[in-house]
Amino acid sequence: MTTTPVPTYRLRGLDILGFGSQEEFLDELFADGRVKTGLMIAFNAEKVVVCDRDPALRRIAEQAAYTYADGISVVRSIRRKYADGLPRIAGIDLWQAMMSRAGRERIPVFLLGARAEVLTEVERRLKDEWGVDVVGGQDGYFDDDQRDAIFERIRRSGAAIVTVALGSPAQEIFMHECHQVYPGALYMGVGGTFDVVAGYVKRAPAGWRRANLEWLYRLLSRPARLRRSGRLVVYAFYHFTNRL
């Protein structure tokens, strides 16, 4: 359990928790020998803008148990607005640290999302490298009429951590709906993390990450993302005109 209250910062009416480090966040999630429950939502510039336009996603974000600054743009906005040296907590790094701890503490994990071959490789790596107790998995290619059955599978699995790699906002919607059926787990949306961990997508080199340019590397290496870059322009407008 954290010894001091975690500060909360507001951007566009959204609350973002200001953990001082990834380790502090992990200690909170795994405090008292048990995993916390509820939804975890990572905020980057794009998600802040989408929440402005998508009332359903905003409601889910407002109800989430844990929100954090995954994108460097969000970190810089908080620093600008609050004069606070908040660190970035990258979702992929946080997830891997969570899986490492889950393996050490024998905490059951359910994996959902990505292609079947990607999911298989992620499960293999988690078991082989960290000894994670993977109690179930489901690829991301399922029909809406299968959702209830998947929710029930997750409930029956007894997973304490459910990680969902569907991309936003699909993963947040899935987590919210599944949480209604099975509230006894911690749900984390992980976007394209499974593809990176399985080796199907290359992560930005360390130098790009140290320079806080991982977002640019993703844009340049995956041109399909360029069609979403307009949201970054909107966010930059918010940031530089003090509308956050």
Is 3 inside a domain boundary?
no
What pLDDT digit, counting tens, does each position of 136-146 carry? Answer: 999 999 999 99
DSSP-assigned beta bridge partners for residue 37: none
- Domain extent at residue 148: 8-197
What pLDDT digit, counting tens, does each position of 49-79 carry? Answer: 999 999 999 999 999 999 999 999 999 999 9
Q: How confident is the model at residue 2 (pLDDT cuts 50, 70, 90)?
A: very low
Query: What sign does the dihedral 74-53-182-15 (CA atoms) show?
Result: positive
Helix (H/G/I), strand (E/B), else coil: 165? strand
- C-alpha dihedral over 36, 94, 175, 168, to 10 degrees? 160
**Residue 87, domain CATH:** 3.40.50.10700
Is 202 inside a domain boundary?
no
For residues 111-128, b (16+ Cβ closer than 10 Å) or e, as one string?
A: bbbbeeebbebbbeebee
DSSP-assigned beta bridge partners for residue 67: 41
Residue 224, pLDDT score: 66
Is 216 inside a domain boundary?
no
CA pair distance 165, 194, nearest whole angstrom:
7
Residue written as token pair 């951590």:
161
* Percentage, residues of the chain above pLDDT 90: 82
Mean pLDDT of 123-147: 97
Residue 213, pLDDT score: 79
Residue 196, pLDDT score: 94
DSSP-assigned beta bridge partners for residue 112: 138, 164
Q: Which of 75-84, 139-148, 205-214 has the lowest mean pLDDT?
A: 205-214
Query: What sign does the dihedral 99-29-163-73 (CA atoms) show?
Result: negative
Residue 152 in this model has a pLDDT that exceeds 70: yes
CA pair distance 121, 200, nearest whole angstrom:
10
Is 58 inside a domain boundary?
yes
CA pair distance 145, 165, nearest whole angstrom:
19
Q: Count the domains in the chain.
A: 1
Is 140 inside a domain boundary?
yes
Residue 212 in this model has a pLDDT that exceeds 90: no
Residue written as token pair 């293999």:
124
Residue 215 in this model has a pLDDT that exceeds 90: no
CA pair distance 89, 22, nearest whole angstrom:
6
Is 119 inside a domain boundary?
yes
Is 239 inside a domain boundary?
no
Residue 29 in this model has a pLDDT that exceeds 60: yes
**Mean pLDDT over each residue of the chain, to the nearest integer:** 93
Cβ(136)–Cβ(11) below 8 Å: no
Is 162 inside a domain boundary?
yes
